[in-house]
Amino acid sequence: MSQVRTAGRPLDDELRERVLDAADRLYYERGIQAVGMDELRTAAGVPMKRLYALFGAKDAIVAEVLRRRSAQWETGVRAAVDAATSPRERLLAVYDHLAAWFGQTDFHGCIFINSFGELGGCSPEVAAIVRAHKAAFQDYVAGLVADAGGPPALAAQLAILAEGAQTTAAIAGTPEAAVQARAAAATLVDAAGLPG
């Protein structure tokens, strides 16, 4: 009996990934509430019964999509920051990462902001995941500021600039918000007296 479970696990993992990939794409393009389970089933190529056996409910899929996106965001931001050569450039690399992201043809804003706007008031789990993601980003920026020798208030200011740039870029449909946010961030970093 354990051999059947072990043999089935890779297939389950593959099906889960197919569902999550389809859900991520559809939710990000159109919104969570606009995508029904039948459409998700079709896009993933997974029978409905299997879909529910894998996840139980749409809420579980939404939560997993957001958790995966959080990990992707963290990886992308850290890679941009790690490639920078000075404390000042490490802080500004966050906005370089945003510029690259905003310039992608499939950019539809921040999935966390979008999800919170759709479901934050009626889904405590979505609200909690979004808040944890945003708090983790703020903590990360605070660590970068501390490493650079900057004041704690600078971290909150830089994080707010990044959040505002995401919303502005989504609404405007252009990546210019990242350039403007980077320039504002540079002004704040310089005003804090951080070395170049």
Q: Top-level CATH class of 58-196?
A: mainly alpha
Please say if the pLDDT value at position 4 is more than 80.
no
What pLDDT score does 8 carry? 52
The residue among 74, 63, 91 whose CA lies nearest residue 147 is 91
| Residue 53 one-letter amino acid | A
Please tell me what DSSP assigns to residue 1.
-
Q: Is 118 exposed, middle or buried (0-12, 13-18, 19+ CB in 10 A)?
A: middle
Q: What does the alpha-carbon distance between residue 68 and residue 192 come to, in Å, rounded to a whole number?
A: 35
**Helices 2-30 + 58-82 axis angle, to 10:** 80
| Residue 117 one-letter amino acid | G
Q: What is the mean pLDDT of residues 106-119?
A: 96
What pLDDT score does 194 carry? 84
Q: 18 near 45, Cβ under 8 Å?
A: yes
**Helices 124-148 + 58-82 axis angle, to 10:** 10
The whole-model pTM stands at 0.91
Q: Top-level CATH class of 1-56?
A: mainly alpha
Please say if the pLDDT value at position 70 is more than 90.
yes
Q: What does the alpha-carbon distance between residue 77 and residue 110 come to, in Å, rounded to a whole number?
A: 14
Q: 174 near 109, Cβ under 8 Å?
A: no
**Which sequence spans correspond to the domains of the chain?**
1-56, 58-196
Confidence of residue 59 (pLDDT cuts 50, 70, 90): very high
